[in-house]
Amino acid sequence: MMPNITRGGQMGGLMVYLAGAGKSNEHEEQHLVAGNSAVVTMHGYGVLDRDAALAIAKDLDEPRVKLGVEVTRQARMTDPETGESITTRVAADVWHCSLSLRAEEGQRSDERWGAIAQDFVDRMGFTEASGKADCRWVAVRHGLSTNGNDHVHIAVSLVREDGTKAPTHNDFKRAQGICRYLERDYGLEQLESRERGIGERGIKPAEQARAQRTGTEVEAHKLERIVRAASVASLDEGEFVRRVRRGGALVRPRFVAGRDDVVAGYSVALRPEAGAQPVWYGGGRLARDLTLPRIREGWPDSPQSEQGAVDEWRATSKNPWQYRPVAPNREETTPDPKLWKQYTDEIKQLRVQMREIPFEDRAGWAHLARDTAGAFAAWSQRVEATPGPLAQTARDLSRTAQIRAHESKPKPAGRVSVAGATMMLLQASQKGQGTMAEAIMLRQLASTVKAVMDMHTAIGEAQRASQLDRTLREQYSQVRDRLPAIVRTETGQVGSAMPTPAQDLDPELAKIVQAAQRGQVVPGTGSPVPTRIESHKPQTTVTPNERDGHER
């Protein structure tokens, strides 16, 4: 997929062109396929005409006009009177990019182009996924080009909702790198291998190289796992703040301008080594479903929980380094082992409920995928000293939760929660590692992964279904094979059957199974599965000040 970027001009002129017939009358059924939620809600997905295009342009341009912000750039032009080359400033608040497939790749659906466009602008830093205010934008599709290329046009106003300006430095190179990621994630023809230094979402090649060189994990991936586990395990927003901090991350709020009681977003960072500054990541930069508005969809809304959340956010905003919980709660205690069965049964009940959810209900399936990914992330956080199969399973499954903002909606009342199971996997006693209780819960979690895979198959998303199939066959099996085997006894009770070396089981694996059945940790790893990366313990001496007060 190739990006083509232009800057400047008037938003009205660009939108009229996109809604028009095209230079060779090649445009057909010009319509929106994505955009920020307010614009899409107002104008919908119908065929555009000139009047609709101008109305959309006016809406996109509103923050710039209303706040009186001008975005300009230096340009060289020819003086019409003297013919001399002169330097001047020109308007540069309109950012336009077309994403095009080769003709041989055929066409994609509006839904697929909408998802690609949303992912693209998120990664470019134009939405709240960057941890900053939104830029207004739309994606327009109007048929094939004259050369037969399926494509989509993205128009962005570079003045954010709060009047700040979105940067475009090095935008073409960044867009190329993002396209390489999108090619793999959406099953497109890969024009350039990711092994040639192209980073993942929000990850710079230098960060990846540093992680590989030092044998550590990319910071954003670890933070994603901490935040994902905390968001699913928590019963409300205040508990979420406390759990993120207990997970080892610094956390701070982004208040609405002029307020200290309304939180619009948040950012997190790992404690750096001595003398270094923390690198802050907005929740949406970690993953699209980890923005604060999306996380809030899973929690009940009440005055008591809102006040508790504000108290915790205020406490951590004063000094993220020295934050102390205002109202510590269940995250400070070890749960009763008897709760394993109760929470495992809840996962089973959730699977029964999902049988009644249509495959086309992307929001419902996104909630299931997000919750299940959170459970795997929590389990990984507790028992994997370094990222292993549990972490990879959480990462693979979480992609199903990455739906567009306007497709998302709060979790329905009455839907069974996996918060209890996630809490157990996150903070159960270390003596519970490798036990039969975990083996039984793992089987139920695997069934939810299988249900998500079946959903992708049913709606024709073979690429995602295939990826989850590999996850079940490779990652899940590594965990399953190192936990006690589950069998049914003659009385119908669940029991365990432990093969011995005499039964052709690898002697080392037999020792692991024996240790797990005794409730002991796997030797040398602290995990039910061996991991490939050596544990890295950064220095904890830090300088309690920051280079600036903004997310980087």
For 64-108, the pLDDT digits (tens) are 999 999 888 877 777 777 777 777 777 889 999 999 887 767 788
140 and 219 both lie in a single domain: no
Distance of CA 299 to the CA centre of its chain: 18
Residue 525 has pLDDT above 60, yes or no: no
Quick one: average pLDDT of 400-427?
A: 82
**Mean of pLDDT over the chain:** 78
Residue 502 has pLDDT above 80, yes or no: no
Alpha-carbon distances of 126 from 11, 246, 455, rounded to whole Å: 16, 31, 31
pLDDT at 249: 93
Residue 83 covered by a domain: yes
Task: List strand residue ranges (DSSP E) for 188-238, in order.
Answer: none
> Domain residues for 94?
2-190
pLDDT at 23: 72
257 and 384 both lie in a single domain: yes
Residue 490 covered by a domain: no
115 and 220 both lie in a single domain: no
- Among 155, 190, 225, residue at a domain's last position: 190
Question: What would the pLDDT profile of 429-461 be if each residue is shown by its tens digit?
Answer: 654 444 677 778 888 888 888 888 888 888 877
- What percentage of the chain exceeds 90 in pLDDT? 24
Q: Are 213 and 532 in contact (CB under 8 A)?
A: no
Total number of domains in the chain: 2
Phi first, then psi: give them for residue 154, nearest 5 degrees.
Answer: -120, 120
Mean pLDDT lowest for which of 212-226, 243-257, 261-275, 514-528? 514-528
- Among 446, 481, 516, residue at a domain's last position: 481
154 and 263 both lie in a single domain: no
Cα–Cα dist 467/482, whole Å = 23
143 and 222 both lie in a single domain: no
User: Which band of pLDDT confidence, cut at 50, 70 and 90, is reported for residue 537?
Assistant: very low
Residue 411 covered by a domain: yes
Q: Are 233 and 419 in contact (CB under 8 A)?
A: yes
Residue 5 has pLDDT above 80, yes or no: yes
pLDDT at 531: 37
181 and 219 both lie in a single domain: no
Quick one: average pLDDT of 273-284?
A: 84
Cα–Cα dist 472/445, whole Å = 11
330 and 476 both lie in a single domain: yes
Question: What would the pLDDT profile of 18-67 be if each residue is shown by its tens digit?
Answer: 988 777 666 777 899 999 888 888 888 888 889 999 999 999 999 999 99
Residue 328 covered by a domain: yes
Residue 507 covered by a domain: no
218 and 185 both lie in a single domain: no
Quick one: average pLDDT of 493-515?
A: 39
Cα–Cα dist 211/98, whole Å = 33
pLDDT at 200: 40
Residue 511 covered by a domain: no
User: Which band of pLDDT confidence, cut at 50, 70 and 90, is reported for residue 207?
Assistant: low
CB-based contacts of 45, cutoff 8 Å, min separation 6: 31, 32, 33, 110
pLDDT at 337: 82
Cα–Cα dist 383/433, whole Å = 7
pLDDT at 430: 54
Residue 552 has pLDDT above 80, yes or no: no
Q: What tokens appear for 308 in the block?
A: 């508790």
Residue 514 has pLDDT above 60, yes or no: no
Mean pLDDT lowest for which of 239-248, 448-457, 513-522? 513-522
Mean pLDDT lowest for which of 17-31, 271-285, 323-337? 17-31
Which residue in 417, 392, 405 sits closest to 470, CA to CA? 392
- Among 465, 481, 497, residue at a domain's last position: 481
181 and 311 both lie in a single domain: no
- pLDDT: is 465 or 308 the higher one? 308
pLDDT at 478: 78
Q: Is 202 left (phi over 0), alpha (psi -120 to 50) or beta?
A: left
Q: Are 394 and 476 in contact (CB under 8 A)?
A: no
Q: What tokens appear for 537 in the block?
A: 């313990």
Q: What tokens appear for 532 in the block?
A: 């490939």
Residue 389 has pLDDT above 70, yes or no: yes
Question: What would the pLDDT profile of 162-182 be if each residue is shown by its tens digit?
Answer: 999 998 888 888 998 899 888
Cα–Cα dist 325/313, whole Å = 10
Which residue in 188, 61, 56 sits closest to 115, CA to CA? 188
Quick one: average pLDDT of 492-504?
A: 37
238 and 326 both lie in a single domain: yes
User: Which band of pLDDT confidence, cut at 50, 70 and 90, is reported for residue 266?
Assistant: very high
183 and 228 both lie in a single domain: no
Cα–Cα dist 156/139, whole Å = 9
Structural element, H or E, at residue 40: helix 37-43
Cα–Cα dist 98/92, whole Å = 17
Residue 275 covered by a domain: yes
Quick one: average pLDDT of 187-206?
A: 50
Residue 518 covered by a domain: no
Question: What would the pLDDT profile of 299-318 be if each residue is shown by its tens digit?
Answer: 878 888 889 999 999 999 98
116 and 218 both lie in a single domain: no
pLDDT at 551: 37
